[in-house]
Structure 1
Amino acid sequence: MDLVSLFEAALLGVVEGLTEFLPVSSTGHLLLLGHFLGFESTGKTFEVLIQLGAIIAILAVYSARLTRVALAIPTDPSARRFVIGVLIAFLPAAVIGATLHGFIKSVLFETPMVVCIALIVGGLVLLWVDARHQPDTIPLRTTDGPAHGWQGQAEANATYDDAMRFPLRMCLAIGLCQCAALIPGVSRSGSTIVGALLLGASKRAAAEFSFFLGMPTMAGAFAYDLYKNRALLSFDDAALIVVGFVCAFLTALLVVRLVLDFISRHGFAPFAWWRMIVGAAGLAGLLV
């Protein structure tokens, strides 16, 4: 292991932290950057394992709220419904991801062209959904039932504005949308945010539910990939992973604290354009 490898690991960690909770595909960015840097990790394990830094960052930011939910589970039905909703949303991608793990890692992760195309197509979809979605200032609905006290068009435009009170059927639908992110470049957060927006969530609530869903999804991917590749890891791999982990944690901590306010003000269009620019640049680099 040399200083160049450590620098590349640090750079990839920063990119992971910056992109994990944005709808731009952290995996797609890591795979493309690693490809053009010539950075190779055993079985592409590095790209998955440094997600632990981002997981711990979001746990740190939401620790107080998650603690309140955990303590309320025995007595509060809404707390239990929230936990069940996140688990329901987590299951589809977990089952399909485990079933297709070999194909995803050996084929999709090794095909940069797929990543570029997914970034561009996903950017177009995100731009379309962002443009058609009503601003977060419209009347709100935060329960399973219909909104009360609103008439006519206001009733039709009501949204779910509380990520912790999404209906269970809505959680399942978002979880099914997350399965698209098994294709690198699609984006886990992007697919869940698009699904939530189309189902009536406000932009801020869609992003926040994506954060919550990311915790078990990323932790599950981390644990499963570590188990599958335990025999392939070496001490050098561990050192690079630690460097990437620390950088991912610090940058993700900053992103999680700032991104919700940014999304509330600017929506998702900036991320859509970024995806398309990166995808197009990647295609140009691959075809030259």
Structure 2
Amino acid sequence: MSILEAIIIAIVEGLTEFLPVSSTGHMIITQALLGIESTDFVRFFTVNIQLGAILSVVVLYWQRFFKMNSCRIFDPQAVAGASAGKRGGIYLKRFLYKYDFYWKLLIACIPGLVLGLLFDDIIDRVLGSVSVVSFMLVIGGVFMLFVDKWFNKPLPDQSITTRRAWLIGLSQCAAMFFPGLSRSMATIVGGMMTKLNRKNAAEFSFFLAVPTMLGASLVKTLSLVKEPAGKALLQENIGLLLIGNLVAFVVAMIAIRFFIDFLTKYGFKAFGVYRIVIGGVLLILIFSGINLSMV
């Protein structure tokens, strides 16, 4: 992989990772058009540069990521006068209140973590099916044409409750078993199904991407470096990884700002049409006999 190819792939990653259009499908098209061989490093590169993309979320929303709730609402005298059991319950409530943001992210991560550990082999096999990706792009695109009509009915209370976090986490699992569906699409629609508005659903989708994608990247990295050949491969291409992450970081920051504004004003229909077109292109390439395998 050349530096130019790495930059192009990173641009595609940054543009598509947080949009409901499937970065996987776009990676397939990009690699096919550039004629890039799907080596161990190329597969690792496409996962690793997600780190740059998720860093953009942390930077853009740093106040949300590092601000903890004040616990002054809890009366110290009530704590001092309580029994040991009640005191433990009060301290637990204080802890959950103070770290509410991280608690909700943890809750949302649990379904994907459990299913990922139980069905890792099945997920890897499905992920390698370009046909599945292509069909899901089209099916997901058709679905998105009606998302605003079906689910854009927000409630006045827009707080992320434990129930909402859990349901959004369950929604994310759909993207694990149906590549091309888009993790972003699954989580945003999942949020809207719990009566969040489009903006808040999209933002929580971004937040949830940080631990989810960080975990996936770390797993791939550990899998690569546990073998001597993997370590050598990583050392030889560290420059490409740094460039890829930097480009993905900058582009993702721009894409997130655009997406939030566009989604708030216009909804999902345009993304649905776009997905149908991209999925159609992939299917045409597949039925034309062109090998688009990423594995």
Q: Same fold (TM over 0.5)?
A: yes
Equivalent position to 2:221, from 217, 226, 230: 226
RMSD: 2.3
Shift of 1:8: 1.6
Question: 1:148 — aligned with what?
Answer: none
Helix, strand or coil: the match of 2:68?
Answer: helix
Shift of 1:108: 2.7
Identify if the C-alpha distance between structure 1 residues 14 and 128 changes in structure 2 by more than 3 Å, giving closer, same or farther.
Answer: same
For structure 1, the residue ranges without an aligned partner over 5 or more in a row are 143-159
**Paired residue type of 2:13:** E
Structure 1 segment 196-275 matched on structure 2, within 5 A: 196-230=191-225, 231=227, 232=230, 234=233, 235-275=235-275
Contact kept, 8 Å, 1:53 with 1:246, in 2: the verdict is yes
Helix, strand or coil: the match of 1:141?
Answer: coil
Q: For residues 36 and 121 of structure 1, what CA distance do their matches in structure 2 show? A: 24
1:18 corresponds to 2:15? yes
Contact kept, 8 Å, 2:137 with 2:181, in 1: the verdict is yes
Q: For residues 70 and 62 of structure 2, what CA distance do their matches in structure 1 show? A: 12
Instruction: Provide Cα deviations, 1:109-139, integer angstroms capped at 9, x if missing partner.
Output: 3321111111111112222212333477xxx
Q: For residues 3 and 135 of structure 2, what CA distance do their matches in structure 1 show? A: 30
1:90 corresponds to 2:109? yes
**Paired residue type of 1:252:** A
**Paired residue type of 2:133:** V
Equivalent position to 1:114, from 114, 117, 132: 132
Shift of 1:77: 5.5
**Paired residue type of 1:284:** I
Q: For residues 180 and 126 of structure 1, what CA distance do their matches in structure 2 show? A: 15
Instruction: Provide Cα deviations, 1:245-266, integer angstroms capped at 9, x if missing partner.
Output: 1211110011122321211101
Contact kept, 8 Å, 1:31 with 1:47, in 2: the verdict is no
| Segment drifting more, 60-69 vs 229-238 | 229-238
Question: 1:67 — aligned with what?
Answer: 66
Contact kept, 8 Å, 1:27 with 1:47, in 2: the verdict is no
Q: For residues 27 and 71 of structure 2, what CA distance do their matches in structure 1 show? A: 38
Question: 2:156 — aligned with what?
Answer: 141
Q: For residues 25 and 248 of structure 2, what CA distance do their matches in structure 1 show? A: 15
Rg larger for: 2
- Percent of matched pairs sharing the same residue: 35
Contact kept, 8 Å, 2:145 with 2:268, in 1: the verdict is yes
Helix, strand or coil: the match of 2:128?
Answer: coil
Q: For residues 153 and 174 of structure 2, what CA distance do their matches in structure 1 show? A: 26
Equivalent position to 1:132, from 150, 155, 160: 150
Question: 2:50 — aligned with what?
Answer: 51
Structure 1 segment 30-45 matched on structure 2, within 5 A: 30-39=27-36, 40-42=38-40, 44-45=43-44
1:6 corresponds to 2:3? yes
For structure 2, the residue ranges without an aligned partner over 5 or more in a row are 73-90, 289-295
Structure 1 segment 272-283 matched on structure 2, within 5 A: 272-283=272-283
Question: 1:188 — aligned with what?
Answer: 183
Helix, strand or coil: the match of 1:192?
Answer: helix
Shift of 1:70: 7.3
Q: TM-score with structure 2 length normalisation?
A: 0.80
Question: 2:79 — aligned with what?
Answer: none
Shift of 1:192: 0.5
Q: For residues 36 and 99 of structure 1, what CA distance do their matches in structure 2 show? A: 35
Q: For residues 237 and 136 of structure 2, what CA distance do their matches in structure 1 show? A: 29
**Paired residue type of 2:184:** S
Identify if the C-alpha distance between structure 1 residues 77 and 101 changes in structure 2 by more than 3 Å, giving closer, same or farther.
Answer: closer
Q: For residues 53 and 132 of structure 1, what CA distance do their matches in structure 2 show? A: 34
Helix, strand or coil: the match of 2:6?
Answer: helix
Q: TM-score with structure 1 length normalisation?
A: 0.82
| Segment drifting more, 111-120 vs 235-244 | 235-244
